[in-house]
């Protein structure tokens, strides 16, 4: 359903630099799906890292995180998002040829926004909501 919504709109054309050949819409859709999946996976890994750090803390002082520590964790998580997106973009020939650098940058921005949204949502639905609000 979501794929049909993306395919019917001009949203996908935003992520493709050159759409001269047939199949560029499929490549753009695959690129958007890759950015969404990478954002979700990185957010889950960062939330798991925070849970592990809190779980293995020796005392209650180390289990309580300040808002600054949480914001730094979220900002540090942006780095793996970029690195993984660069690796996927560079190693996939269609992404490199059709998506181009402009689509890469737009994909990075979209993935960052989704990552931050998932991190805030993860904190709001967990017992850690006081560390972010």
Radius of gyration of the chain (CA): 18
Question: DSSP secondary-structure letter at 20?
Answer: -
Average pLDDT for residues 19-34, to the nearest whole number? Answer: 80
The 10s digit of each residue's pLDDT in 32-71 is 899 999 999 999 999 999 999 989 888 888 888 888 999 9
Q: Quick one: which of 85, 74, 73 has its CA closest to 109? A: 85
Give residue limits of the domains in the chain: 24-131
**Predicted TM-score (pTM) of this structure:** 0.87
Phi-psi region of 33 (alpha: psi -120 to 50; beta: other; left: phi over 0): alpha
Note the pLDDT of residue 38: 97
pLDDT for residue 4 is more than 70: no
Note the pLDDT of residue 116: 96
Q: Quick one: which of 47, 66, 30 has its CA closest to 115? A: 47
Question: DSSP secondary-structure letter at 21?
Answer: S
Q: Quick one: which of 45, 40, 47 has its CA closest to 128? A: 47
């Amino acid at each position: 359903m979501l794929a049909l919504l993306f395919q019917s709109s001009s949203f996908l054309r935003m992520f493709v630099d050159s759409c001269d050949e047939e199949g560029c819409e499929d490549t753009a859709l695959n690129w958007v799906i890759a950015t969404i999946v990478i954002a979700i996976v990185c957010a889950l890994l960062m939330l798991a890292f925070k849970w592990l750090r809190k779980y293995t803390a020796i005392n209650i002082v180390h289990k309580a995180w300040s808002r600054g520590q949480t914001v730094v964790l979220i900002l540090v998580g942006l780095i793996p998002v970029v690195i993984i997106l660069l690796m996927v973009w560079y190693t996939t020939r269609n992404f490199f040829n059709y998506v181009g650098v402009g689509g890469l940058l737009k994909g990075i921005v979209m993935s960052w926004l989704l990552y931050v949204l998932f991190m805030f949502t993860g904190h709001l639905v967990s017992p850690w909501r006081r560390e972010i609000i």
